[in-house]
Every structure is written in C-alpha cells, then in structure tokens.
Amino acid sequence: MRTPLIAMLIAAEVFLAGLMIYAIKGGHAGWVSPSDAGFPLQQASFKASPIAPMAAGLSPTVSIDDANSHVTVGVSTDGLVHVEDLTSASGVIWGSATIAPLRVERTAGGVSITRPGNSSLTMSIGDLNQAIRVDLPAGSHVAIGHSSGADVTGIAGGVEVTSQDGRVTLQGLRGDVTAHSDDGRIEAQDITGGRVALSTDDGRLRLSNIAATSLDASTDDGSIEAERIAISGSGSHAVVHTGDGSITAVLQPGSNATVVASTDDGSITIDGNTSSGDSNAEQTVKVGDGSAQMRVSSDDGSIHLTTNGAQ
C-alpha cells in the first residue's frame, strides 16, 4: 500500500515543481511544458494604486460592482467618499492574469465604483486577496450589485446588497435594507427601516434588534435566529421562513401582532409550551392588540417563539 502512495506524492511534487503536462502529439506520447501546451506560466504581482478621496455631498448614492471582491463599507470621518482597493496578488499564475484596477467615477447622484472586465486569475500559486474598502458619509445610499460577500456598518440612507458567493453582515443601519446571498449566511443587527428584506439561497440567518414596518427574512436551507424583533401597527407585517431548518424568534416587548407559526415537520413551542411534533402543525397567538401580521414558518424544522406579552 505504501508504494502507490509514495508514487502519488512524487507525482504531485513533480507537477507542482515543474507543472509538466502529459500530452499526445501526432500519435506520439511526450512531456511538454505548460507554455507549449497553451498554458503559459507567468510571475504575477499586483498591488492597487491609491485612490484620492472624493466629495459627493452628505447623502450620495454610492454604487459598487465587483463580483470577485469582498466589500466593506463604513462611515467616513470627513464627509468624503474614500475608496481603497485592497486587492493584491503575488505568485505564479497559470493562464491569464487579468486584474483590472477599480474605476471610481463621480456621477450625477453620487459615486460609481466598478472593476471593468473579467478581473480574475485562472490559477494562482501564491497569495491572492480581492477586497474593497469604502468609507462614506453616514447619509449615503449604498447599492452593491455584485460582490463576494459584504460588511456594511453605520449607513442611514438605505442599503442594497447582493453577494454571489459569501456572507453578508449588516450593522447599525437606517432606512430600507435589502440583502441577498446566493451562497452564504446573513447576519443583521441594530436595523431600523421601513422595509427590511433579507434572503439567502444557502445559509443561516441571524437577526438581532430589528424594527421595521415590513420584514421579510428567508433562507432556502438553514436555521434562523431572530432576537428582539419589533413589529407593531395596522398594515405592518413580518415573514420569517426557512425551507429546511429550525427557527428561534423572540419578539421585542411592546410588540402588537397576530403571529401564525407553522411547520410541515417539527414541533412548535410558544412561550415554553410545546405542541406535538405532528406534520402540518400550526398555531396562532395574539401579541398586544394583534394589529400587525406576522408569519413564522419552516418546511422542515421546529419553531421556538417567545412573544414577551402574548394574550
């Protein structure tokens, strides 16, 4: 058993050291270099140039679009928009090395931040970091169209985030907030807005201290923890749903809502009282005056609800 293993390790070392490719040319077998086979080796080194701060008013709309980068957004201390391209690469590249610099442009309503072209590395032996840092006035509206995850803190003009691959964290936000991840968890804390919509195709949701007229929180696959959720008033609504996972929801004291909890497979516990674990279970509870509407549901998982004032 040791001989095949040793042979495999030697083969791997040879590949990494020389990146030799076995090819068949004209019916004859032979060893050729990666460059001869159409995969040129390149020594790559990339470090972005500094970007000058930009004045765009106290409430600009700042759009960010870079599917390959993790985006971090915070509040600037001088009222200007600061953009830092943290992308760096150092090592050997097999194939194309096409990291384009960020394009930062003043627009009529604010600032546009994009990375043009297909800025990615086919293969890298070394270090690769793709990230953007943006600090801007607290009153800004932020729209992240493409990213590999995002962290947004302290923005009061509304936030829209889309992540193709990576987690999203939101903290201390005001205004309407929309966030979606194709693959990654979403964590949201201290958010006050008219409409808050959080969704992920694959990942858990963690919500804490959320007050909204309209709350929609859903995941296709993952658990949900929602603490200190405030929902009150006629016309207000909240929907918390998972396709596969458990839900723990705790309402803020003083909430006024009619809550419907349902699961296709699992138990329902409301203020410590647990129902049987029958399929298609549903319970309704009135909190305060019951004026708002809230639905908590799981296709496959148990529900634990704390109302802090059920009647």
Q: Number of helices (H) and strands (E), helices first, in the chain?
A: 1, 27
Q: What is the pLDDT of residue 231?
A: 86
Does pLDDT of 4 surpass 50?
Answer: no
Q: What is d(CA 203, CA 187) in angstroms, rounded to the nearest whole number?
A: 10
Rg (CA), the chain: 25
pLDDT in tens, 23-58: 333 433 334 444 454 555 666 666 788 999 999 999
Report the range out of 14-23, 224-233, 276-285 with the highest average pLDDT.
Answer: 224-233
E strand or H helix at 78: none
Least confident of 102-111, 227-236, 298-307: 227-236
Name the average pLDDT for the chain.
Answer: 85
Residue type, position 55, single letter: A
Contacts of 83 (CB under 8 A, 6+ apart): 51, 54, 102, 104, 111, 113, 132, 133, 134
Beta carbons of 177 and 196 less than 8 angstroms apart: yes
Q: What is d(CA 177, CA 184) in angstroms, rounded to the nearest whole number?
A: 18
Mark residue 193 as left, alpha or beta (left: phi above 0; alpha: psi -120 to 50; beta: remaining). beta
Does pLDDT of 192 surpass 90?
Answer: yes
H-type alpha helices, the chain: 2-18
Instruction: Give the pLDDT band (50/70/90) at residue 6.
Output: very low
Side-chain-side CA neighbours of 81 within 13 Å: the count stands at 26
Q: What is d(CA 249, CA 224) in angstroms, rounded to the nearest whole number?
A: 8
pLDDT in tens, 245-294: 999 999 999 899 999 999 999 999 999 988 766 667 899 999 999 999 99
Instruction: Give the pLDDT band (50/70/90) at residue 95.
Output: low
Q: What is the pLDDT of residue 22?
A: 38
- Going by C-alpha positions, the residue among 157, 168, 228, 250 that lies closest to residue 201 is 168
* Percent of the chain residues topping a pLDDT of 90: 67
Q: What is the pLDDT of residue 178?
A: 98
Token pair, residue 258, equals: 């009619």
- Going by C-alpha positions, the residue among 46, 185, 57, 220 that lies closest to residue 121 is 46
Contacts of 33 (CB under 8 A, 6+ apart): 20, 21
Residue with tokens 């050729």: 32
Q: What is the mean predicted confidence (pLDDT) over 134-150? A: 97
Q: What is the pLDDT of residue 129?
A: 80
